[in-house]
Structure 1
Amino acid sequence: MPSRRVVTGRSQEPRRRFAEELRLLRGARGESLRQVGERLGWDPSTFGKMESGESLGSPEIVEALDQHYGTPGLLLTLRELALADPSQFREQYRRYMVLEAEAVSLWHFGVSTVHGLLQTPGYAREVLTVGGLKDKELNQQVEARTGRQKLLVDEDAPPFRSILSEAVLRTPLRDAQEWREQLEFLLDVSERPNIALQVLPQSAGLYGLVSTDLMFLRLLDGTTVAYAESAHRGELIEENVSVERLRRAYDLMRDLALSPVESRKFILRMLEEVPCEPSI
Structure 2
Amino acid sequence: MSVDEAGTEHGDGGADDPGWDVDPDDESGAAVVAAVGRQLKAWRESAGLRASELGSAIGYGENLIYKVEGGRRIPRPEFLDRVDGVLGAGGKIAAMKKDVVEVRYPKKIRDLARLEARAVEVGVYADHGIHGLLQTEGHARVLLETRQPSYSRDEVERGVAGRMARRSIFERSPAPALSFVQEEAALRRPIGGRMEWRRQLERLLKVGRLRNVSLQVMPLKCETHPGLDGGIEVLKFGDGTAVGRSLGVLNGRPVSDPKHLRILELRYGMIRAQALTPGESLAFIEQVLGET
Common topology (TM > 0.5): yes
Question: Can you list the C-alpha shifts for 1:87-130, whole angstroms capped at 9, x where unaligned?
Answer: x234xx77655433322211000011122122222222222233
| Maintained 8 Å contact 1:183/1:271 | yes
Q: CA deviation at 1:207?
A: 0.3
2:58 paired with 1:36: yes
What SS class does the counterpart of residue 104 from structure 1 fall into? strand
What's the secondary structure of 1:237's corresponding residue? coil
Note if 1:116 corresponds to 2:132: yes
- What's the counterpart of residue 95 of structure 2? 74
CA offset digits 1:118-144 (Å, max 9, x no partner): 222222222223333422222212212
Verify the 8 A CA contact 1:18 1:82 in the aligned structure 2.
no
Q: Is the 8 A contact 2:58 2:83 kept in 1?
A: no
Instruction: Tell me what 2:151 maps to.
Output: 134
The answer for the alignment partner of 2:15 in structure 1 is none
Give the TM-score of the pair, scaled to structure 2: 0.68
1:171 Cα deviation (Å)?
1.5
Instruction: Establish whether residue 247 from structure 1 lines up as the match of residue 265 from structure 2.
Output: yes
Corresponding residue for residue 121 of structure 2: 105
| Comparing 177-186 and 69-78, the one that deviates more | 69-78
SS where residue 236 of structure 1 aligns? Answer: coil
Distance 2:264 2:236 in 1: 14
Query: Contact (CA 8 Å) 2:102, 2:110: kept in 1 or not?
Result: no
Task: Give the aligned residue type for 1:36.
Answer: I
Code of the aligned partner of 2:58: V
* Displacement of 1:148: 1.4
C-alpha contact (below 8 Å) 2:74/2:100 kept by paired residues: no
The one of 211, 228, 243 equivalent to 2:246 is 228
Aligned partners of 2:244 and 2:266: how far apart in 1?
12
Which residue type is aligned with residue 226 of structure 1? Answer: G
How much identity, in percent, do the aligned residues show?
27
Are 1:104 and 1:158, in contact at CA under 8 Å, matched by a contact in 2?
yes
User: Over aligned residues, Cα RMSD in angstroms?
Assistant: 3.8
Q: CA deviation at 1:54?
A: 7.0
Equivalent residue runs for 1:171-250 within 5 Å: 171-229=189-247, 234-250=252-268
> What is the alpha-carbon distance in structure 1 between the residues aligned to residue 138 and residue 155 of structure 2?
15
Q: What secondary structure is seen at the aligned counterpart in 2 of 1:183?
A: helix
Unaligned 5+ residue runs, structure 2?
1-26
Matched-pair contact (CA < 8 Å) for 1:226–1:237: yes
Relative to 1, partners in 2 of residues 1:77 and 1:97: Cα closer, same or farther, differing over 3 Å? closer
The answer on whether the counterparts of 2:242 and 2:256 sit within 8 Å (CA) in structure 1 is: yes
